[in-house]
């Protein structure tokens, strides 16, 4: 204990001297811009990986089933509070329907099993918090409680000339990736959000599901397909594919949309559209196109939404029903995505989401949750291997976290520890909810600037230990990278 206190004290002193130094530099060279930012660690690349709905006990369950996840041994481990600013439903005509949330009280959280079932966030408010550093109201994308447009990490990174992108195992216009790219009053406006992501954003890479030509088993739909909202519009989707790599303006509902310039040469940069497993694999090595829209041939998730085989129930272990064929894994998408993003000498920002962990938790599917944990953990390992081979931990920062807990997952009733039944054996698990909770989640950081997250942890939970606010994750990046330069 004493040693830890000393260590922490030492780190605080180090932070203060950095801050004083930063101030001294900015006074002595006030003409020099960005001197404060340059005094903080300044990672070239920042990668945020979000396990959607990945509470501490999802990690623990995966740990028991597969063995420890690599990210659990990262040098910086703290917890994070995920609550939003406001809960309730947004109504243009009656804003009083939104109520201020009540934060997170560590004493009550471990006393009353019902406490965490109230005032919890959903993925849109959580993504906005993680992307902009501001807590907001539930179901909103990239706007403040007052409705102001908030600067997100993709926009910040692009203003510094970096490449930016999102990769997810659920539709690309779903709440978490949308929160890092778009701005909209409601997460449910998928078509508007997808349109913004494709034509208003300057992202270099968008990868995720939502392919309207396929079902949840990855089977091609015959006849007319109706559900095209995740890619904005069915006609637009066909034009994007036929104009892949070339076309820069598109018609959508009688309006003309032009793609943005992502490299600063004032020339609009077309999307290269890939959908087949073969093209995803090809992207993993060799020369990559400048700007990629990768939509695998499946509708809502890569694997979690596939129909249950007759031997599988919600309580089954993972891998009972064979996987959908002809699809890339999240790890393969990540490998290809990094091949697109790493062409920029100024570096990149990317948000990678294991989006369907949450979907399995909502449906209280034990085995599917474990499958999604494996998929996410493999994606993290792919990033770690990429850093080791093509970058290093002195120029890249990797943060692995969750947007919220989901399912109130325990070994039995709330607060009952999970039973470890050994490797490849389903641990003793019980979902106590079909929705999110306000429980703390984990933050695991490694690389340039990771120690900043330890320093930010100023609150203590009796069980999870030191914790930060979810908003501190981007706030520290805003400090490290400095103000937006051109926007």
What is the contact surface with Zn ion in residues (CB under 5 A)? 358
The rounded Cα 234 to chain-centroid distance in angstroms is: 26
For 220-235, b/e burial (b = at least 16 CB within 10 A) is eeeeebeebbbbbbbe
Nearest one of 176, 185, 180, 175 to 147, comparing CA atoms? 185
- Nearer Cβ to Zn ion (63/358): 358
Residue pair 311/284 in contact by the 8 Å Cβ criterion: no
Q: Shortest Cβ distance from residue 360 to Zn ion (Å)?
A: 10
Minimum separation from the CB atom of position 123 to Zn ion (A):
6
Output 45 or 123, the one with its CB closest to Zn ion. 123
φ and ψ at 296, to 5 degrees? Answer: -60, 160
In whole angstroms, how close is the CB of 361 to Zn ion at the nearest point?
7
Secondary structure class of 73 (helix, strand, coil): helix
Structure tokens at 24: 């001294």
Residues forming a β-bridge with 79? 442, 467
Q: What is the DSSP letter of 167?
A: E
Shortest separation between residue 319's beta carbon and Zn ion, angstroms: 23
Least distance from Zn ion to the Cβ atom of residue 117, Å = 14
Q: Pick the closest to residue 396 from 405, 387, 404 (CA basis).
A: 387
Which residue, 39 or 121, has its beta carbon nearer to Zn ion? Answer: 121
Cβ closest to Zn ion, residue 358 vs residue 461: 358
Pick 352 or 357: Cβ nearer Zn ion: 357
The full DSSP string for 199-218 is II---SEEEEE--TTB-TTS
Q: Which is nearer to Zn ion, 124 or 443 (CB)?
A: 124
Taking the least distance from each CB to Zn ion, the nearer of 139 and 382 is 139
Tokens at 364, concatenated: 């209280």
CB of 251 to Zn ion, least distance (A): 35
Number of helices followed by number of strands (H, E) in the chain: 15, 19
The answer for 296, left when phi > 0, alpha when psi is -120 to 50, beta otherwise, is: beta
Q: Shortest distance, CB of residue 391 to Zn ion, whole angstroms? A: 32
Q: Find the shortest distance in angstroms from Cβ 52 to Zn ion.
A: 7
User: What distance in Å separates the CA atoms of residue 134 and residue 472, rounded to the nearest whole number?
Assistant: 9
- Rounded Cα distance, 143 and 134, in Å: 9
Q: Closer CB to Zn ion, residue 127 or residue 284? A: 127
Minimum CB separation from Zn ion for residue 459, in Å? 25
- Report the residue number, 220 or 434, with the smaller CB distance to Zn ion: 434
For the chain, the first-to-last Cα distance in angstroms comes to 47
Nearer to Zn ion (CB atom), residue 175 or residue 207: 175
CB count within 10 Å of CB 39 equals 19
Q: What are the CA-CA distances from residue 167 to residues 9, 75, 364, 385, 448 (Å)?
A: 38, 25, 25, 17, 22
Least gap, CB of 373 to Zn ion (angstroms): 15
Q: Which residue is nearest to Zn ion (CB)?
A: 358
């Amino acid at each position: 204990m004493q040693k830890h206190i000393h260590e922490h004290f030492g780190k605080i002193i180090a932070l203060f001297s950095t801050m004083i130094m930063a101030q001294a530099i900015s006074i002595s060279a006030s003409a020099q811009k960005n001197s404060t930012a340059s005094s903080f660690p300044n990672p070239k690349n920042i990668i945020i990986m979000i396990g959607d709905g990945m509470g501490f006990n999802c990690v623990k369950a995966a740990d028991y089933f597969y063995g420890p996840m690599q990210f659990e041994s990262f040098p910086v481990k703290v917890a994070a509070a995920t609550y939003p600013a406001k809960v309730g439903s947004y109504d243009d005509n009656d804003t009083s329907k939104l109520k201020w949330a009540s934060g997170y009280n560590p004493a009550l959280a471990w006393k009353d099993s019902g406490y965490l079932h109230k005032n919890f966030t959903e993925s849109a408010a959580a993504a906005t918090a993680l992307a902009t550093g501001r807590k907001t109201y539930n179901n909103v994308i990239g706007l403040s409680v007052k409705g102001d447009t908030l600067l997100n990490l993709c926009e910040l990174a692009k203003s510094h000339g970096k490449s930016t992108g999102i990769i997810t195992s659920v539709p690309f216009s779903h709440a978490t990736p949308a929160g890092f790219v778009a701005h909209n009053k409601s997460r449910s406006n998928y078509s508007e959000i997808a349109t913004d992501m494709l034509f208003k954003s300057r992202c270099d890479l968008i990868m995720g599901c939502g392919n309207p030509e396929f079902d949840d088993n990855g089977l091609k739909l015959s006849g007319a397909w109706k559900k095209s909202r995740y890619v904005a519009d069915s006609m637009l989707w066909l034009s994007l594919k036929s104009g892949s790599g070339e076309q820069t303006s598109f018609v959508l509902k009688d309006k003309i949309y032009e793609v943005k310039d992502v490299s600063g040469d004032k020339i609009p940069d077309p999307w290269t559209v890939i959908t087949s497993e073969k093209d995803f694999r090809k992207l993993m090595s060799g020369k990559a196109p400048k700007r990629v829209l990768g939509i695998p041939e499946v509708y809502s998730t890569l694997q979690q939404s596939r129909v249950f085989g007759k031997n599988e129930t919600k309580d089954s272990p993972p891998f009972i029903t064979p996987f959908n064929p002809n699809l890339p894994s999240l790890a393969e998408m990540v490998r290809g995505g990094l091949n697109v993003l790493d062409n920029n000498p100024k570096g990149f920002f990317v948000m990678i989401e294991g989006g369907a962990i949450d979907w399995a938790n909502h449906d209280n599917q034990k085995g599917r949750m474990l499958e999604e944990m494996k998929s996410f953990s493999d994606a993290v390992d792919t990033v770690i291997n990429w850093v080791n081979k093509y970058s290093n931990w002195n120029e890249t920062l990797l943060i692995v976290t969750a947007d919220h807990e989901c399912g109130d997952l325990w070994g039995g009733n709330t607060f009952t520890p999970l039973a470890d039944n050994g490797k490849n054996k389903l641990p003793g698990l019980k979902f106590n909810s079909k929705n999110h909770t306000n429980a703390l989640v984990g933050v695991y950081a490694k690389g340039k600037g990771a120690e900043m997250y330890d320093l930010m942890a100023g609150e203590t939970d009796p069980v999870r230990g030191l914790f930060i606010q979810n908003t501190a994750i981007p706030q520290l990046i805003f400090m490290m990278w400095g103000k937006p330069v051109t926007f």
